[in-house]
Structure 1
Amino acid sequence: MERSDWMSYAEQQQGLTGAKLVSLIIALAIVGGIGLAMVIGLAVNAVKEQIERVTTVDIEEPPPPEEPDEPPPEQPQETAPPPPVAPPPPISIAPAPPPIQTQPTIPPPAPPALTIPPPAPVAPPAPPPAPSLARGASTRGEGRWAARIQENYPSRALREEIEGTVGVRVTVTPDGRAANCSVTASSGSSILDDAACRGMERYARFNPALDNAGNPTTGSYATRITYRLN
């Protein structure tokens, strides 16, 4: 094929292809317009339905508010007449103030007053104590038992002609007997000293000592026994 023939064939093919493309674009535009019209129609119907639903809603108007009661008319208050006003007293102005006296030194403050408390009340005197009944032991029937002690002159002292005076001290029991005799002054003879203590414990009788309540208690007694030959 020659070059001119080839080019004419190519031009024919190219012309056919352009015509097909234009036809395809037109067909697509028609289809798209139809689809868009359908979508717009559906949207318009939906909007109409919503508008009908909104317009069919019943709206109730609220009742008008009640008018408030009118307040009672104010009563005119009676006003008391103003009190009479007295005219102010005349003011006397002194021509010159009185002179002021000053002290060069300030006197010391007065000493505080001394308050002396009253004396304490005197306590009442204590009641006198009850009289005490205490007493010491005393002899009972001393003449009789002293004579018996003398009658029991020790035989040895008689033979040897021994004389003398013995000082003794005894414990007086609550029942008035003598016990625990001791020699406070010896006669110089043990025979006479021993005889004097034996005689006191055997023959001596006493009134027992008493305590403060008057009960018998233990006491003591001291005496002197003289042994003398006739």
Structure 2
Amino acid sequence: MAYADQQMSTRRIVSIGIVALLHAALGYAFVTGLAYNVIKQVPTVLETFDVQEAKPPEEEPPPPPPEPEAAPPPVAPPPEVVVQTAAPPPPVVVAVPRPPVISAPPPPPVVQRPSQASPPSPRGRRAEWITTDDYPGSAQRAGEEGTTGIRVQVNADGRVESCTVTQSSGSSTLDDATCRLYSRRGRFTPAKDTEGNAIPATYNDRIRWQIPD
């Protein structure tokens, strides 16, 4: 059974090959015959063809003249720019405070001193309070002399509280020595009022400075 199938297959292949060859031969004959007929008919066609002179090409009408360019539309001028300046601000008014009114201080109260019945008087020997032994050496060497007037404040105890030069001797050394010695050594019987009470009071004096021989 297999051998029979193999024989049938071989025959089929051979039949297919023969058919293909026949188709190829027919195609070749058809192509070569068609080419021969075309070459044979070409001279006939050329003999009967009428050659006509070619007409010159028609001249194209000249192009229309260019239209004049339309004038550009007028340009409107730019609108005026109005710059509005702001009004200057009103000036600033600065209120200057008035200086305070300083009233004059009230006058000091008047101290009513009791009326003086007797002035102060020196106790002891006033000439011994300042002597030639107290003469400042610098003033003596400089040859300074003169009279110093003073006013002293004597308290209720009879002591000198302060001293003021009312007349200068011309030498500050002699003036300073006068107040210093007078305040340290002076002793007074205090002043008294009308009722006999001791009261403070002032006392004026003059001291003569003279270089001893």
TM-score, with structure 2 as normaliser: 0.43
TM-score, with structure 1 as normaliser: 0.40
